[in-house]
């Protein structure tokens, strides 16, 4: 079992003394390992491909700067993410704007900031974009998001994060006649440039077969539309969703497990139909950042119900990790202390929030802990910070980057005063 007393050359117990807990930790080495996979197994291995980081997994100004360093693009889904990218100094031409209900304000900001691409999700949004682009006299590259209509049973993930089936809120239906009309409409608009299609089957996928099926559907659709419209699409965005194994990162599949079968199928289908393969784009989010992240807590109390369960109470919980309550997600953890190794015991990790469902890990075998010990939960880099809640007026924890023995602040911890920033005093 790996020791986590040190991470990237940093002493975790010393960090817990200097900084308040809970705290999100990001391993620079963990990020580098995933970047190397993305480069070796995709951008260097295949021609005419690109990577856009799915920023909903974790975003702050510093993360934008990290993504920029590795020359990846940035996939954003809201005005807030868009603004963060803009204020961080990110190259906005490398930003792709998603979302199934973008407001006119968000579309306006996107065009003013100069985003590179907008993924249009429905016809009403398309009309809004046409009006905004005309009003601002801006030209924007556009992709259409299309659901590949895969069988839900084939997409092996939680139903809340499945997006490639027919019954989904995302994207245009897979109807060639309707898509032909929409694309013709875009081509006729002087302020819009149609560049291709986008598809995303879901998140936390564990098999490659579904990527092959999606590749078959989307490549066939691209070629059919090319022939019908007498065009040649420049881009096909296949989305992301490459899963990890939260309970044991050693079991996480390599990127090539997902990518190679998908790319092989794409090459085959475009060759079969006699069209040049367009640029293939992928959007990893969780895959890049999840396993690089860890959250540290301090154990404050315990409750031992003989022959039933022993609870360890930590100073965080569902507010800083909503994924367990929302998706029934599983995690691994380590007790960190300065003693010699202890005997092990089965415990349940319970949070401090006023909900019975505030359980982060149920029945896990850990070293026997004492009050004041540090508990580290692993693979929390994706969605934990993003989904943070102020439930019970909890303060958002800080984010620390650990790099070559140095601790670098990415996000400062909230104070109680911060909680009152937007509260209003009234007279009744």
Structure tokens at 270: 């475009």
Q: Which of 60, 223, 354, 424 is catalytic?
A: 354
More confident residue, 200 or 14: 14
* Residue 7: pLDDT over 80: yes
* Residue 154: pLDDT over 60: no
CA 232/CA 222 separation, integer angstroms: 9
354 in active site? yes
* Residue 162: pLDDT over 70: no
**Neighbouring residues of 324: CB distance < 8 A, sequence distance ≥ 6:** 318, 331, 359, 360, 361
In the chain, CATH 3.20.20.10 covers 46-286
Helix then strand then coil, % of the chain, to nearest 5: 35, 25, 40
What pLDDT was estimated at residue 169? 53
What pLDDT was estimated at residue 202? 80
CA distances from 296 to 26, 67, 106, 323, 376 (A): 11, 24, 36, 16, 4
Q: Stretch 177-185: mean pLDDT, rounded?
A: 91
**Neighbouring residues of 255: CB distance < 8 A, sequence distance ≥ 6:** 37, 38, 41, 42, 242, 284, 287
What pLDDT was estimated at residue 164? 40
In the chain, CATH 2.40.37.10 covers 6-11+292-419
* Mean pLDDT, rounded, of the chain: 92
Q: Stretch 265-279: mean pLDDT, rounded?
A: 96
Confidence of residue 280 (pLDDT cuts 50, 70, 90): very high
What pLDDT was estimated at residue 166? 43
The CATH class of the 46-286 domain is alpha beta
Model confidence pLDDT, tens digit, residues 326-368: 888 899 999 999 888 778 999 999 999 998 889 999 999 999 9
* Residue 139: pLDDT over 60: yes
- The structure's pTM equals 0.93
Instruction: Pick the closest to residue 310 from 372, 370, 246 (CA basis).
Output: 370
Token pair 């050693």: residue:
250
**How many residues comprise the chain?**
428
Spacing of C-alpha 294 from chain mean position: 15
- Torsion, Cα 264 268 269 275, to 10 degrees, reads 110
* Residue 231: pLDDT over 80: yes
Q: Which stretch of DSSP H or E encloses residue 377?
A: strand 374-378
The CATH class of the 6-11+292-419 domain is mainly beta
């Amino acid at each position: 079992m790996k020791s986590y007393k040190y991470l990237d050359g940093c002493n975790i117990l010393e960090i817990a003394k200097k900084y308040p807990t809970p705290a999100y930790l990001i391993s620079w080495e963990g990020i580098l390992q995933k970047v190397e996979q993305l480069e070796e197994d995709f951008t260097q291995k295949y021609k005419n491909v690109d990577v856009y980081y799915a920023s909903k997994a974790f975003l702050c100004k510093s993360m934008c700067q990290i993504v920029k360093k590795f020359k990846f693009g940035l996939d954003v889904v809201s005005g807030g993410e868009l603004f963060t990218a803009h204020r961080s100094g990110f190259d906005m031409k490398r930003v792709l704007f998603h979302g199934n209900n973008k407001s006119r304000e968000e579309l306006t900001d996107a065009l003013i900031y100069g985003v590179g691409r907008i993924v249009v999700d429905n016809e009403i949004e398309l009309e809004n974009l046409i009006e905004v682009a005309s009003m601002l006299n801006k030209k924007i590259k556009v992709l259409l998001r299309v659901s590949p209509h895969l069988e839900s049973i084939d997409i092996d993930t939680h139903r809340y994060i499945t997006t490639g089936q027919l019954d989904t809120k995302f994207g245009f239906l897979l109807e060639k006649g309707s898509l032909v009309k929409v694309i013709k409409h875009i081509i006729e608009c002087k302020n819009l440039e149609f560049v291709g299609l986008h598809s995303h089957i879901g998140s936390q996928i564990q098999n490659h077969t579904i990527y092959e099926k999606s590749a078959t559907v989307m490549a066939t659709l691209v070629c059919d539309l090319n022939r019908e419209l007498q065009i040649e699409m420049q881009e096909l965005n296949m989305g992301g969703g490459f899963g990890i194994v939260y309970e044991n990162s050693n079991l996480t599949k390599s990127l090539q497990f997902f990518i190679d079968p998908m790319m092989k199928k794409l090459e085959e289908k475009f060759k079969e139909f006699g069209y040049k393969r367009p640029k293939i784009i992928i959007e990893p989010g969780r895959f890049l950042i999840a396993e690089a992240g860890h959250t540290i807590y301090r154990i404050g109390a315990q409750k031992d119900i003989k022959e039933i369960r022993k609870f360890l109470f930590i100073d965080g919980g569902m507010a800083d990790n909503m994924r367990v309550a929302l998706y029934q997600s599983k995690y691994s953890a380590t007790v960190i202390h300065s003693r010699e190794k202890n005997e092990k015991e089965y415990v349940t990790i319970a949070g401090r929030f006023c909900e019975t469902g505030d359980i982060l890990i149920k029945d896990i075998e850990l070293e026997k802990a004492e009050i004041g010990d540090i508990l580290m939960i692993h693979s929390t880099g994706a969605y934990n910070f993003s989904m943070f809640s102020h439930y019970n007026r909890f303060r958002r924890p800080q984010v620390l980057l650990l790099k070559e023995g140095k601790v670098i602040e990415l996000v400062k911890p909230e104070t109680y005063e911060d909680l009152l920033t937007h509260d209003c005093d009234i007279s009744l």
